[in-house]
């Protein structure tokens, strides 16, 4: 995640989105792992004073105690990426303590084209795209490092360890506004039984519709189109309803 733009105070934004009718708020401290910082308990405590929809928080969660601390502060779910890759047992232990419904695995994945490096593709789950065969590489530290891990196999392992949801971000799509990576989203969704949240690349309501209709995502995450008032939450939800998507009416 590079070229980050300041969008405003997270507590104020979350309150606005709650009032606008958002179904869930996801707050990710995307530099916490890279900068070796802890969780933002104070932000969640202030936020949940006025926001009464599910809150998912991620960034800096390294121990089971971090999960319990965030849940006590008012969060409903905790998302982990880097720490889980370094220590997969964290997912197993956390799911036993707080329950799978509160354990979200964040996967930030990038396309790797088989033709460009056939050796690296060996043993990976290969997916066909219009641009050629690919596999998906997991990144950590907010996209600063790549692991060489197969994202599809990793999602399956996370499910087996007790994760209850996948927050899936396309590193290729993030920030482009060209739409979600539907191939990635569908590939992960087809290989796990837990909900998959599409993230990375949304530029308009049509992209969100495609995440549901083409990739079978359980939910779709958007950031900049809301942060900068390009498409307010009520506009997006009304569009989806008109297209036949079952949705909580708040507009």
4 in a domain, yes or no? no
* CATH code of residue 164: 3.20.20.70
Cα–Cα distance measured from residue 214 to residue 190, given in angstroms and rounded to the nearest whole number: 12
Domain membership flag for residue 250: no
pLDDT at res. 10: 87
Identify whether 248 is part of a domain.
no
Burial label, 171 (beta-carbon count in 10 A; 0-12, 13-18, 19+)? buried
Instruction: Check residue 251 and give its pLDDT.
Output: 76
Residue 249 lies in a domain: no
CB 233 within 8 A of CB 20: yes
Residue 3 lies in a domain: no
Is residue 132 a part of any domain in this protein?
yes
Residue numbers in the chain where pLDDT is lower than 50: 1-4, 6
Does 247 reside within a domain? no
Note the pLDDT tens digit of each residue in 149-197.
999 999 999 999 999 999 999 999 998 999 999 999 999 999 999 999 9
Measure the CA–CA gap between 156 and 190, rounded to whole angstroms.
Answer: 10
- pLDDT value at position 6? 47
Total domains in the chain come to 1
Residue 187 lies in a domain: yes
Question: What's the domain range around 105?
Answer: 10-242
Query: For the range 57-62, what are the long-range contacts, defined as Cβ-Cβ under 8 Å and sequence gap of 24 or more?
Result: 57/26, 57/27, 57/28, 58/26, 58/27, 58/28, 58/29, 58/104, 58/106, 58/167, 59/28, 59/29, 59/30, 59/31, 59/32, 59/33, 60/29, 60/32, 60/33, 62/87, 62/90
């Amino acid at each position: 995640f590079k070229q980050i733009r300041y969008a405003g105070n997270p507590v104020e934004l979350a309150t606005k989105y709650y009032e606008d009718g958002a179904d869930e708020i996801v707050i990710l401290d995307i530099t916490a792992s890279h900068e070796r910082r802890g969780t933002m308990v104070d932000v969640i405590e202030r936020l949940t004073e006025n926001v009464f929809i599910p809150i998912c928080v991620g960034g800096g969660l390294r121990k089971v105690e971090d999960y319990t601390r965030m849940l006590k502060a008012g969060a409903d779910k905790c998302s982990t990426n880097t720490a889980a890759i370094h220590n997969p047992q964290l997912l197993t232990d956390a799911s036993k303590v707080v329950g799978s419904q509160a354990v979200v695995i964040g996967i930030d994945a990038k396309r790797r084209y088989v033709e460009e490096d056939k050796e690296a593709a060996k043993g990976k789950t290969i997916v066909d795209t219009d641009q050629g065969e690919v596999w998906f590489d997991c990144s950590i530290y907010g996209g600063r490092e790549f692991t060489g891990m197969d994202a599809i196999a990793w999602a399956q392992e996370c499910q087996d360890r007790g994760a209850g949801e996948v927050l899936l971000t396309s590193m290729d799509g993030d920030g482009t506004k060209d739409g979600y990576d539907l191939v990635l989203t569908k590939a992960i969704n087809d290989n796990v039984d837990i909900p998959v949240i599409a993230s990375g690349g949304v530029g308009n309501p049509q992209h969100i519709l495609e995440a549901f209709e083409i990739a079978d995502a359980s939910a779709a995450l958007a950031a900049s189109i809301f942060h900068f008032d390009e498409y307010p939450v009520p506009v997006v939800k009304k569009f989806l309803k008109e297209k036949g998507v079952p949705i909580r009416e708040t507009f």
